[in-house]
Amino acid sequence: MGHAGCSLKRMAQAPASEGKSTEAVAHLVSMLRDFSEATLLTRSRSGSLHGRPMSIAQVDDNVTIWFITSAASAKVDEVADDARATVVLQSASRFACINGNAELVFAPERIRALWRDSYRIWFDGEADPELVVVRFNAFDAEYWDKSGVQGLKQVLQLARAYVTGSKLEQKPERQNDPASHAKLKLWDPGERIDPTDLDRTG
């Protein structure tokens, strides 16, 4: 699976037309909540990227994504060494790439809030000392959604252009329709996080 456009480098300030949009953010959150798993990419000490599938525990309204994992896993060491991370999600008709920082949360109350019985196949209950939460704070995101009416129209336009040998008048990724595609600047890493926000469940 290609990860084009998923650079871990902080994205430059987006133009106003591609900035934070309430409608686009809400659409992204709705998309994310339809996924049960995502690929979390972190950096090893050598600087190489390491990706692995992760079960999504929760998605907040501000696009914060929560995962539960083992404290003994390699990803925990990588996050402790380098917070930069990327989350990638893909289905047959939807794709999202989100850049941000990951942090480790060891708070028992947070683990209890996110715990599901399905996790028992990996852990000995919510009190398992090996449990740790990974909180992914999104900085910027880009998504493509071809599952709705607009997405279907794009597919038909592409098919028509292919059959007739003509070029599209407007490329799908430039149509600026939040139901099908958006680039979002969600949070500036240089900004201070309100400590009270760390405990918000969204």
| Domain harbouring 62, CATH code | 2.30.110.10
Alpha carbons 131 and 124: distance in angstroms, whole number:
9
Q: What is the pLDDT of residues 157-178, one digit of tens each?
A: 555 655 666 765 655 544 557 7
Q: Quick one: which of 64, 148, 143, 38 has its CA closest to 96?
A: 143
The H or E element containing residue 153 is helix 149-164
* Predicted pLDDT at 160: 61
Number of folded domains that form the chain: 1
Give me the residues of the chain with pLDDT under 70, please: 1-20, 148-165, 167-176, 189-202
- Sequence-separated (6 or more) residues with CB below 8 Å from residue 62: 25, 138, 186, 187, 202
* Predicted pLDDT at 91: 94
Alpha carbons 183 and 177: distance in angstroms, whole number:
10
Residue 6 lies in a domain: no
Q: What is the pLDDT of residues 91-124, one digit of tens each?
A: 999 999 999 999 999 999 999 999 999 999 999 9
* Predicted pLDDT at 170: 56
Residue 70 lies in a domain: yes
Residue 106 lies in a domain: yes
In terms of Cβ atoms closer than 10 Å to its own Cβ (0-12, 13-18, 19+), residue 108 is: exposed
Domain that holds residue 35: 17-146+178-188
Residue 134 lies in a domain: yes
